[in-house]
Amino acid sequence: MTKTELPTAANPGPFGHQQRKNFLFPENFTQFNHGSYGTFPKVVQAEIRAYQDLTEQDADRWNRRDLFPVMDNIRTQLAEFVNCDKAELALVTNTTVGINTVLRSLPFVPGDRILVLSTGYISVNKTVSYICDTQEDVKVVEVPVTFPLSDKDLLTKVEDALKAHKELRDGSRIKLGIVDWISSVPSAVHPVKELVELLHSYGALVYVDGAHAIGQVPVDLGYLRPDFFITNCHKWLFSARGSALLYVAKRHQHLIHPTAISGLYKSGFENEFAYAGTQDYSSILSILSALQFRKQYGEDAIISYTHSLAVEGGKAMAKILGTHTLTGDNDDQVANMVNVALPLKDLSHPKANTKDLMEILMDKYNIFTPAFRHGEHLYTRVSAQIYLELDDFVRLGNIWKEVIDDLNASS
Ligand SMILES: Cc1ncc(COP(=O)(O)O)c(C=O)c1O
């Protein structure tokens, strides 16, 4: 990943606090947790409202006719953005829908196994549990993962699990592997290309959970060659919540149907996913203006600014806190989200949990970053974004220091 020079007073560049005017934040609030729900610029909000107005002005004209070419144009633009055939893309509302779509469509037979990592997103791993609960002799193979872990060690762990399973010689097979591109908590960029190749070499299909990918890292599906891929546009691409992109390689499309079957059942992949029943499509449609907003700066500029800010910001916070970032000097495992260790002495402190810490951060400081335990430490995950600067991370580091000092004093 390329690093960029962070702006200076003499050379502020297009990013940093001057971007705040393009977003909807109140003056006294700084968003440090873009990673959970994202947010969109004002121009995207205007576009959403324009689509809603258009719908209300003539619901028949819109829903029966004019909606479809707009949706089609979005897929065309996204296909170019992620380098694949438009016919392999479907617009859905979120990653949870994406994983359910694939897992609940794929035909599993007794003896099938699904490989996941312990750091996989909870809704994804729970959907796998649901499949295992509802299908005869379909089981999960979970690879335990604790960071810090080099890419090489992560690949070795997955390969060890594949080998160990092969050696069982019990007639079962790992049919599908599910891997994150960028995990949630802790956040770490995975060696996704190598994971896809490794799983393929053991005969497994691969579903890449790229919930955090688009807008945070360059996505090239022609190069990655997964079987299935999902990415939320509402996280890092700047479109509205409820907009995601599902990729299904052509060779599997005959197996995959939307979770909610509509009148378009058996009309082919593109048709079946073109209309998910009556709903407000404006969030999906907002992908267009999000792409336009980003184009004025360029993907490289956005991605390298936010990556550099996450890396430098994480280091600045760790210095204030007297701790470390989860992935240390391995900057390539950081995209826009950085995990900073919190210097809590007693991990069993009654307030050392996500909810209590959330109350303190929101009520006393009017900010929020998620805190979570991983391995032997409590960490917080901080999201860099184009509207933030290094001094925001310094302020956040000092706030977290005050919070943890208070907990340490009361333990
Ligand atoms: C890695 C990962 N997968 C899946 C999801 C689920 O995304 P959504 O809530 O948009 O369905 C998330 C959400 O944060 C995530 O981080």
Nearest residue CA, atom 10 of ligand 1? Answer: 94
Mean pLDDT across 130-148: 98
Query: How much is the pLDDT for 224?
Result: 98
From the CA of 97, give the closest atom in ligand 1. Answer: 11
Name the segment(s) of the chain with CATH classification 3.40.640.10.
49-292
From the CA of 241, give the closest atom in ligand 1. Answer: 10
Tens of pLDDT, residues 180-211: 999 999 999 999 999 999 999 999 999 999 99
What residues flank ligand 1, with Cβ below 6 Å? 94-96, 121, 123-124, 180, 183-184, 209, 211-212, 232
What is the share, in percent, of the chain residues with pLDDT greater than 90? 96
Label residue 411 by pLDDT band (50, 70, 90). Answer: confident
Q: Which CATH class is domain 49-292?
A: alpha beta
Label residue 10 by pLDDT band (50, 70, 90). Answer: low
Q: Is the pLDDT of residue 1 over 60?
A: no
Nearest residue CA, atom 16 of ligand 1? Answer: 184
User: Ligand 1 centroid to 410 CA: how many Å?
Assistant: 35
From the CA of 36, give the closest atom in ligand 1. Answer: 14
Query: How much is the pLDDT for 309?
Result: 97
| Three state DSSP letters for the chain | CCCCCCCCCCCCCCCCHHHHHHCCCCCCCCCCCHHHHCCCCHHHHHHHHHHHHHHHHCHHHHHHHHHHHHHHHHHHHHHHHHCCCHHHEEEECCHHHHHHHHHCCCCCCCCEEEEEECCCCHHHHHHHHHHHHHCCCCEEEEECCCCCCCHHHHHHHHHHHHHHHHHHCCCCEEEEEEEECECCCCCCECCHHHHHHHHHHCCCEEEEECCCCECCECCCHHHHCCCEEEEEHHHHCCCCCCCEEEEECHHHHHHCCCCCCCCCCCCCHHHHCCCCCCCCCHHHHCHHHHHHHHHCCCHHHHHHHHHHHHHHHHHHHHHHHCCCECCCCCHHHCCCEEEEEECCCCCCCCCCCHHHHHHHHHHHHCCCCCEEEECCEEEEEEECCCCCCHHHHHHHHHHHHHHHHHHHHCC
CATH code: domain 17-30+298-409 is: 3.90.1150.10
Q: Is the pLDDT of residue 395 over 60?
A: yes
Q: Which of 99, 121, 283 to mutate to test the pocket of ligand 1 (most atoms within 8 A of CB)?
A: 121
Tell me what the pLDDT averaged over the chain comes to: 96
